[in-house]
Each structure stands twice: as C-alpha cells, then as structure tokens.
Amino acid sequence: EVQLVESGGGLVKPGGSLRLSCAASGFTFSSSSMNWVRQAPGKGLEWVSSISGSSRYIYYADSVKGRFTISRDNAKNSLFLQMNRLGAEDTAVYYCGKEIGTGSYVDFWGQGTLVTVSS
Amino acid sequence: ETVMTQSPATLSVFPGERATLSCRASQTVRSDLAWYQQKPGQAPRLLIYDASTRATGIPARFSASGSGTEFTLTISSLQSEDFAVYHCQQYNNWPPKTFGQGTKVEIK
C-alpha cells in the first residue's frame, strides 16, 4: 500500500525558514518523480516543485524559485522541501505527491502538512 | 504559463442527477490533463488522467473527455459521496503544472 506522510509544518514568522519532510512507503521511491503541491486556505491547488527519481531534474514554480529547495534521500525513502524567506503568501497546506513517469500527474497524495506564516 | 479555467465555480445538483464540469486551457495541452476530487479536510484523489482514463478504483459513473483546450468531466448519477471540489490540472506545458481554480459540486 502506497503511503506518503508529510511532517514539519507549523507556525513560523515572516522571513523565517521551515523544512518539510515526506516519508514514502509501498512503492519504489527511487524510481518515482515526486512533487510538492500547496493549497492556501480556501483556495485552489498550486504546484510548487518536482524532482526526478535520481534528483537530476528539478523544477520550481516562479513563486518559490530562489527561496525553496526540493531534495530527496532515496536511501531513506524521503522527500524534503526547504523553505526560506517565508512570507504570508506561503501559508498553505503542503502536500507531497507521487508522480507517474516524469512530467505527468500525481497519482497518490499525502495527507498534507499546514504551514502558517504569521507574526 | 498555461492558464486553466474551470466552470462553473459551483454546481448545485440533486442526488441522482448528472453533473457536467468544464475545464479550459489557455493553449493546447493535447490530452495531458488530469482530474482530481477533493473532499473537505482531505487530500486530493486522482480520478482521471490523460484526459479520459479512469484511475484505479474510480467508479464508472465518472467519465471524462476532451483534448487540446476543452475538457469535460461528467458524473452520470451523483451519489452522496461525490459532493466535493473537482480540480483539473495540465501537465503538457510545464513547468509550471497548472491547476484550475476548482469546481465545487454541492447538494441542491
């Protein structure tokens, strides 16, 4: 059974940093591209970042480029999102998602972790 | 960036009725389109990929069609568990992989 469990969310002050984690199980993690997608309160979904299985290919939304860093540890079946210089606009539930192939859709989502940026 | 526009924003439907949701892309995305269902407080769930293929375990009352810039998701006979928000996403012209703003299907 595929499982994705996010952690690391919480309350952070504007300008602060946070590191999200996603623990994966039930599939061959190292072969799967992974995504972070976020959803601000009461809003739609926003793709944040993608990383290929080997970490060779990494992509970011313009809204987070230069502030967020996606990474993975295939030995530990874990995905990460390092978020720096956080602003109120980054307040959202952050989901990790497993991708089919490369450059496609998310076929399985974690339950999400809430990040709140507020003073 | 490919902008995805969903309509209507809210759809009020009686249980048992048919619901038709639309998703339009600002430029062609070929058939690289997915639909997701999201219930309150839950993560999205994949319904449809490649514009018309149902994901594993998705009931046959969900069907989808379209290619290029115009896409449709149809729920043939709404069940109580189908009242949710539905999102479309393109994965042809990326980054970014853009989502529509969502259509809420509510009980009439």
| Tens-place pLDDT, residues A15-71 | 999 999 999 999 999 999 999 999 999 999 999 999 999 999 999 999 999 999 999
- Residue B37, token pair as written in the block: 């269902």
- The tens digit of pLDDT for each residue in B78-99 reads 999 999 999 999 999 999 999 9
Residues of A in contact with B89 (CB under 8 A): 45, 47, 105
CA–CA separation, B71 and A10 (whole Å): 37
Instruction: Give CA angle at B57 (A37, A22), nearest 5°.
Output: 30
B42 interaction partners in chain A (CB closer than 8 Å): 111
Q: How far is B33 from chain A (nearest CA, A)?
A: 8
DSSP A57: -
